[in-house]
Amino acid sequence: MDRKIIIVVIAVVIILLLLLGFFYIRNVTGSAREKNELIQKRLNTLKLASLYMDKGEYDRAMELLDSLLIENPNDKEAQSLLDKVIERKKKEEEALQKKEEESKKSQSEQLKKSISQLGETIQEKLPKEKIVLPTKPKETPQNATSKEKQRIDEINRLMKKGIEQINRQDYRGAIDTFNSVLNLDPKSGEASAYLGMSYLEENPENSSNIQKAIEASNRAIQQNPNLWIPHRTLGKIYENTRNYENAIKEYKEASRLNPEDYKLLYSLGKMQYYARKYSDALQSFESCIHLKPDFPQAHYRMGKTLLKLGEPDKALNSFNKAVSYKKDFAEAYYEMGVILSNKGNEALALKNFEKALKYKPGSAIFLRSYATSLSTLGRYKEAVVYYKKALAKNPNHAVTNYNIANVFLKLGDPASAKPYAERAVQVEPGSALYNYTLGLVLEKTGDKNGAIKYYSRAIELDSNYVKPRINLGKIYDDNGLYDKALNLLIKAYELSPDSFEVNNNLGNVYLHKGLYQDSIKHFIKAIALKPGATLARYNLGLSYLELNQMDSAMQTFSELIKIDSSYWDAYYQLSLILIKKNEKAEAKSILTTLLKKNPGYEKRKEVEKILSGL
């Protein structure tokens, strides 16, 4: 073979090899570069997702991680981080839900405060009964001298006289009489017991009387440990000073020594109730009622105890028994009203509140409870009357001012609500609920700046309070302050993602900002929560239009017309879509129907111009 040819062939082969090597290296290098870029992109995505998670932006973090897992379902690091995000989001949502429930509960309790304030402040009066204090005459020894017999006779006479004075409530006379007995018989335990009792009954708030009552009672116990009266006296002293543990101890001992006295068991039950020993209190009241079945106060107290033990039905039965024995027992009617209201039987609750008010017409608590019950039943004008009567008794009662403001709002009279909402905030400036309500009143009276001030204050007081965020966000949105509105509503969405108002208002802000994909997301959720929300559905259609998603827009406006056949703008928008789709006959039919159904349509001239061109 010609040498030149061989050289040429070799050169061609070398060139081909070089070319192949070049392309191979370039491909390998390019592939490595792309691979490195993908790895870096993945790492950046994981880092960004972790950052979003730490900031509490869980949805954004999940979207990033979902994109990684779509590309590689076996990405263990992405899956692990996603699980972490989901778990953290779940915990935060649970915490927020718990806080929201607590907030709602707190607000609900505020609303019902006028029905529950009676609490432990009711001091029902026991019926006045003659005090029977029999005493055994001091025996005269057979070998007693004449002088000794005279002394013993005088002791017996004075003891009888002193007891009669106690029964007449002549405690000063009784004190003098029993002191005379002790002059004749210094070791008389009974005289010391009655003396202690007399000192206390004469003036139970006087420190000197109290001290003398304690000294005499303790002396009586030392002289005769089988006497029950000094234990009762000491029990009363401890009761008056709210030393419930010692009161329980003394009443228990008094009851042990005198087991047939139902009033001792009643007093013991009260002290156990106040000491929060509800099971013990229940037992004492049951024992009291066993001794005196027609004792209305014991039935009432047992009802209160059963409420503490979580037995409202049994408590209702006890209160019923109380009023069966005491027809004018206003507090028992009140308690029945509270139970029935909590059970949802507001009509019957109202009747019981009415009876409580009948027997105690001047009670501010009963006036408030009756008004609240009327309001719950939608009898707002009547409720106003009784709230005003309650405020006449106590003008600075925050809950009543708040409640009457709410009633005026329900009556569509925010101007009348304003002074009451203002008073509630003046009395309790730290209440987020009251600040929100004042903001709502001011917004409805046209004072936007005032509304902004008090909505903002409500949020400062309770950053998890959703309602002021919704309303303030809407004010900002209506005034073109979209970023301010968005900040408020994004937080509101975190707190209450299933709120129609939150999703609807977020949809509006995103629509106004031109973030149509986000607006669609929230309008869809809002409609799912409230399918009859026509404006949200219309705005959803507009969002689809902005993204040129004609089919979705057409479907949305068509559904809107089915829901509300008088939503005229939906006809108009639907016709424009059909014209763009070159379905002119259908568009003409819709526009003709529109003018036929609504000849005064505000865009009539535009419709007529469109029809003339079809």
**What CATH number is associated with residue 280?**
1.25.40.10
Between CA 162 and CA 119, with CA 263 as vertex, the angle to 5 degrees is: 125
Q: What DSSP state is assigned to residue 124?
A: P
pLDDT at 189 over 50: yes
**What token pair was written down for 496?**
């209450």
**What token pair was written down for 18?**
């070089």
- The tokens 């013993």 sit on which residue? 152
Q: Does residue 132 fall inside a structural domain?
A: no
Query: Which range has highest mean pLDDT (14-18, 40-44, 115-119, 567-571)?
Result: 567-571
Q: Is 292 left (phi over 0), alpha (psi -120 to 50) or beta?
A: beta
**What token pair was written down for 492?**
């509101």
Helix or strand or coil: residue 294? coil
Tell me the torsion sign for CA atoms 282, 285, 287, 290: negative
Picking from 74, 93, 112, the residue at the C-terminal end of a domain is: 93
Q: Does residue 385 fall inside a structural domain?
A: no
What is the distance between the alpha carbons of residues 498 and 530, in angstroms, rounded to a whole number?
11
Q: What is the mean pLDDT of residues 49-74?
A: 72
The per-residue pLDDT of the chain, averaged, comes to 88
Q: Does residue 434 fall inside a structural domain?
A: no
What is the distance between the alpha carbons of residues 151 and 433, in angstroms, rounded to a whole number?
75
Q: Does residue 227 fall inside a structural domain?
A: yes
pLDDT at 118 over 50: no
Q: What is the mean pLDDT of residues 14-41?
A: 63
What is the distance between the alpha carbons of residues 404 and 406, in angstroms, rounded to a whole number?
5
**Banded model confidence at residue 58, pLDDT cuts 50, 70, 90:** confident
**Which of 133-147, 195-209, 305-319, 487-501 is the least confident region?**
133-147
More confident site: 39 or 393: 393
- Looking at the 3D structure of the chain, how many domains does it have? 2
Q: Does residue 274 fall inside a structural domain?
A: yes
What is the distance between the alpha carbons of residues 437 and 423, in angstroms, rounded to a whole number?
11
Q: What is the mean pLDDT of residues 451-472?
A: 96
Would the pTM of this model clear 0.75, i.e. be above it?
Answer: no
Domain co-membership, 76 together with 162: no
Q: What is the pLDDT of residue 56?
A: 72
Q: What is the mean pLDDT of residues 451-470?
A: 96
Q: Does residue 427 fall inside a structural domain?
A: no
Structural domain range at position 61: 3-93
